[in-house]
Amino acid sequence: MTNAFVRKLQRGVELSESDQQQLIEATSRTQVVDPYTILVREGEPHHEAYVLLSGFAYCFKLLTNGERQIVACLVPGDTVGLYGVATENSDYTVVTLATCTVASISRDTIDSLMADHPNIGRAFWWSLLLEKSHLCAWLANIGQRPAPQRLAHLICELLHRQQAVGLTRSGSLEILLTQQDFGDILGITNVHVCRIFRQLRDLRLVHCDQKSIIVRDLDQLMNYADYSSALC
Amino acid sequence: MTNAFVRKLQRGVELSESDQQQLIEATSRTQVVDPYTILVREGEPHHEAYVLLSGFAYCFKLLTNGERQIVACLVPGDTVGLYGVATENSDYTVVTLATCTVASISRDTIDSLMADHPNIGRAFWWSLLLEKSHLCAWLANIGQRPAPQRLAHLICELLHRQQAVGLTRSGSLEILLTQQDFGDILGITNVHVCRIFRQLRDLRLVHCDQKSIIVRDLDQLMNYADYSSALC
DNA sequence: CGATTGGTTGAATGAGTTCAACAAATGTGG
DNA sequence: CCACATTTGTTGAACTCATTCAACCAATCG
């Protein structure tokens, strides 16, 4: 018995059978959520944490000028508000893009998990640190890379993370993000995303099917994008 | 008895006299560090955490194309590697910009502080969450705001954080960052930073002394930059 | 089937970079 | 204390990358 959450945490900290069992139980209260459902709304408090067990979602901040910055993509195993539950308002909105299985965990459950199982506490720490690392990597990507490399880097990351949770073996990446979404991740317009995609296609770095991106030579793309696969 | 670290944590979690005492003791092993000293080097493990008690520092990542992204500025009370000590390699370099007083904390001390004092553990959590929030805010700033607002937003944040630790009461902000540094924070060139500074001066939003930025009307600047002072 | 959403392309515009030159400030050794 | 070198800031002109706005296409969905 395992699930995406346990598998993710185990990449950071080794968990005993008992620890794993506790985590499975803690994430047993699940619900299936439609695409385009808002799980958490920016500025509002949320009283439970969520664990994404299947599906795909992302987090974004809205600016008063109407612009939107997507600050994270969530794949199975990732959490929402695991750390700040009930303490403050969320600083971003979380919305599903696919049909998702979502487990809810109460504040009390989190507290007792951490208090009674030191390794689970460590795993939670690790997971939060990983999120921080991801944000730093995105910051460097948006701040310093030219647009084609920026997009290539994002594709590497999405592919890498989908592979890490066993969603794809090949270089094919099912894609639920629109070009507008890509733009709101990368800080460019949807029109420019389209043009950059064309460049990457012309360079034979990726091939775009209707609903998926196919990476023929991942090493080549990683090299092009200056992507290092340390994080996952 | 108190110090910048305790004052910072208390903004997030109320700490008992005893908790405060523990934290003071834990940060009593201090050293004075010259400007432009590297505290932590990207890619290398570090076996102690650091707390900045006075001075100023920043963290950056280097890309293989030679570009640099500054991912955080540290003011007194801020920590370096408090969470990932000895577990993994640092994902960024930390360098001082001023003469700094830096306390070192060992992994064991951190462990026992958290194990024996639940509120200290909570305060550490809060502090890490705050860092994450900051990164999200920077991401939105770099990704979605035009350069003038981007710089204005950064000035608001720096001023706000200096005020929060009692380094300035007025709207004057001692500035140790070069225009190159500003560029590496904001994802623009140093030349453009210079031009944007001029724009902000022309708009009478800031006034630049030799070594400081003077904000006459902070509300006006905050409004211009779409800055919300929630974080600190 | 029309209506809507998302992707594609072109032309004009604008924001930001590049490169180069110079000014101002700071530091250093004699 | 001066002369020189170095670093940081400033400005202009040409250029490039990305945006804007518009039109159109393709796919999907009632």
What are the backbone dihedrals phi and psi of residue B227, each rounded to the nearest 5 degrees, phi first?
-95, 130
State residue A165's pLDDT score: 87
Tokens of residue B40, six digits: 């932590």
Q: Do A140 and B61 touch (CB under 8 A)?
A: yes
Tokens of residue B145, six digits: 């705001």
State residue A232's pLDDT score: 66
- pLDDT tens, position by position, A34-62: 999 999 999 888 889 999 999 999 999 99
Q: What's the mean pLDDT in A74-92?
A: 85
Taking a C-beta distance cutoff of 8 angstroms, is the pair A102, A35 a contact? Answer: no
Separation CA B232–CA B230 (nearest Å): 7
Q: Which of the two residues, B67 and B171, has the higher pLDDT score?
A: B67
To test the contact with chain A by mutation, choose from B13, B80, B135 the residue with the greatest count of A C-beta atoms within 10 A, namely: B135
State residue A169's pLDDT score: 76
State residue B170's pLDDT score: 77
State residue B166's pLDDT score: 84
Q: Is B42 on the interface with A (CB under 8 A)?
A: no
Separation CA A19–CA A120 (nearest Å): 7
Q: Is A71 on the interface with B (CB under 8 A)?
A: yes
Taking a C-beta distance cutoff of 8 angstroms, is the pair A149, A199 a contact? Answer: no
- pLDDT tens, position by position, B64-104: 999 999 999 999 999 998 887 666 788 899 999 999 999 99
Of B24, B31, B80, the C-alpha closest to B57 is B80
State residue A230's pLDDT score: 72
A224: Cα separation from own chain's centroid: 22
State residue B86's pLDDT score: 61
B87 interaction partners in chain A (CB closer than 8 Å): 126
Average pLDDT, chain A: 93
Taking a C-beta distance cutoff of 8 angstroms, is the pair A36, A95 a contact? Answer: yes
Of A134, A27, A152, A145, the C-alpha closest to A82 is A27
Separation CA A180–CA A186 (nearest Å): 10
Taking a C-beta distance cutoff of 8 angstroms, is the pair B154, B56 a contact? Answer: no
Q: Which nucleotides of D are covered by protein (CB under 7 A)?
A: 7-12, 17-22, 27-28
Instruction: State which residue of chain A sits closest to B92, comparing Cα positions.
Output: A136
- pLDDT tens, position by position, B142-162: 999 999 999 999 999 999 999
* Helix boundaries (H) for chain B: 4-12, 17-26, 107-116, 118-144, 147-164, 179-186, 190-202, 218-225
Burial of A17 (0-12, 13-18, 19+ CB in 10 A): exposed
Q: Is A226 on the interface with B (CB under 8 A)?
A: yes
- pLDDT tens, position by position, A4-36: 999 999 999 999 999 999 999 999 999 999 999
Contacts of A196 (CB under 8 A, 6+ apart): A147, A148, A151, A188
Neighbour tally for B128: CB within 10 Å: 20
To test the contact with chain B by mutation, choose from A135, A184, A222 the residue with the greatest count of B C-beta atoms within 10 A, namely: A135
State residue A171's pLDDT score: 81
Q: Do A145 and B186 touch (CB under 8 A)?
A: no
Using CB atoms, pick whichever of B69, B145, B230 lies closest to residue A143.
B69
Taking a C-beta distance cutoff of 8 angstroms, is the pair B154, B185 a contact? Answer: yes
Separation CA B204–CA B218 (nearest Å): 11
- pLDDT tens, position by position, B194-227: 999 999 999 999 998 878 999 988 999 999 999 9
CA distance B6 to chain A (A): 20
- pLDDT tens, position by position, B123-143: 999 999 999 999 999 999 999
Q: Which of the two residues, B189 and B209, has the higher pLDDT score?
A: B189
Q: Given a cut of 70, is residue A227 above it in pLDDT?
A: yes
Using CB atoms, pick whichever of B87, B133, B143 lies closest to residue A142.
B143
What are the backbone dihedrals phi and psi of residue B29, each rounded to the nearest 5 degrees, phi first?
-85, 90
Q: Which of the two residues, A172 and B128, has the higher pLDDT score?
A: B128
State residue A170's pLDDT score: 78
Tokens of residue A194, six digits: 């389209």
Cβ of A198 near strand D (distance < 7 A): no
Q: Is A148 on the interface with B (CB under 8 A)?
A: no
State residue B83's pLDDT score: 83
- pLDDT tens, position by position, A116-136: 999 999 999 999 999 999 999
Which pTM does this prediction carry?
0.94
Q: Is A111 on the interface with B (CB under 8 A)?
A: no
- Using pLDDT thresholds of 50, 70 and 90, give the confidence band for residue A86: low
State residue A231's pLDDT score: 66
Taking a C-beta distance cutoff of 8 angstroms, is the pair B176, B127 a contact? Answer: no
- pLDDT tens, position by position, A175-207: 899 999 999 999 999 999 999 999 999 999 999
- Using pLDDT thresholds of 50, 70 and 90, give the confidence band for residue B120: very high
**A93-96 and A57-62 strand pairing:** antiparallel
- pLDDT tens, position by position, B37-53: 999 999 888 889 999 99
The DSSP string of A102-156 is: EEEEEHHHHHHHHHH-HHHHHHHHHHHHHHHHHHHHHHHHHHHS-HHHHHHHHHH
Taking a C-beta distance cutoff of 8 angstroms, is the pair A196, A190 a contact? Answer: no
Separation CA B79–CA B100 (nearest Å): 13
What are the backbone dihedrals phi and psi of residue A184, each rounded to the nearest 5 degrees, phi first?
-75, -15
Q: Given a cut of 80, is residue B169 above it in pLDDT?
A: no
Q: Given a cut of 90, is residue B105 above it in pLDDT?
A: yes
CA dihedral A154, A155, A158, A159 (to 10 degrees): -150
